[in-house]
Amino acid sequence: MPSANAPVFLNPLTPLAFLPPQIGDQLQIGNYIVVGTLAAFIWDLLCNVLNDYKLLTKHRIGVGTCAYFAARFCTLWYLLASTIFLTHPVSDCAAARKFYEVGCALAVPANALLMFLRARAIFLNNTPMVLLFLFLWLAVAATAIIPAMPGMITAEHIGPTRYCITVFENPASGFFGIAPAVHDTVVFVAISWRMFQSSHFGDLGNRSRKDNIKAAITGEFLPRFSKAILHDGQMY
């Protein structure tokens, strides 16, 4: 007879039953974050369907428009692929992880390209700054493919289940997150400072340093368009 004190698994094929509690908690939290992010992104897509339709049909389609829709598509690809990899049983974990990483390798530089195009428009007559932004974007594009390269990340099934988990990450894959952080920070600070400098809110010398810093951060005294660009960059 089985012991009365033996643990009973109501669902012995749940993936968390085959993981240490600490790793199981981390995996569960990661799943919640990915699913929540996907839900928020889909909601954003639905809220902007009409605006996106007008953008396609009533305006000239240029580089910026193509970059915008490429960023939307690649981000959806990345979020869907990562959600499937983390929450849905699949037959081949390595292929599912690779599909997810390719989506990430496209989504990150596609979104960074939008920031580069904005910075280029604002610093159009400043060639050194434009070249700096271009260099940073190329660094983002180059490092984004690192996790998708062979041998960088390994995934396998959790126990006898068909759910997947990442079991190995090459330390070199960590460089993937550095370039986007540097790019976004430099572009955001540069745009914010240019908006602050070019705004018509009076002589900077008439205000204290504290007020000037506050204006650069909050957009106080900025024209409506400049303030919108500043706040949009902060949200990004």
Instruction: Please name which of 126, 138, 113 lies closest in space to residue 63, comparing C-alpha atoms.
Output: 113
pLDDT of residue 15: 79
pLDDT in tens, 160-176: 888 888 887 777 777 77
Mean pLDDT of the chain: 81
Beta bridge partners of 186: none
pLDDT in tens, 78-135: 999 999 999 989 999 888 888 988 998 999 999 999 889 988 988 888 899 999 999 9
pLDDT exceeds cutoff 80 at 72: yes
How many angstroms separate the CA atoms of 33 and 83, rounded? 10
Non-local (6+) Cβ contacts of 120 within 8 A are 130, 133, 134
Non-local (6+) Cβ contacts of 134 within 8 A are 116, 120
Q: What is the pTM of this model?
A: 0.78
Q: What's the token pair of residue 97?
A: 């992880």
Mean pLDDT of the 65-90 span: 92
pLDDT exceeds cutoff 80 at 158: yes
pLDDT exceeds cutoff 60 at 48: yes
b/e string for 54-68 if b means 16 or more Cβ within 10 A? eeeeeeeeeebeebb
pLDDT of residue 151: 76
Compare 67 and 222 and report the one with higher pLDDT: 67
- In DSSP notation, 55-89 reads HHHSS---HHHHHHHHHHHHHHHHHHHHHHHHHS-
pLDDT exceeds cutoff 70 at 35: yes
pLDDT in tens, 195-207: 766 654 455 555 5
How many angstroms separate the CA atoms of 230 and 222, rounded? 9
How many angstroms separate the CA atoms of 16 and 21, rounded? 8
What are the structural domain ranges in the chain? 19-130+144-170
pLDDT of residue 1: 46
Three-state secondary-structure class, residue 184? helix
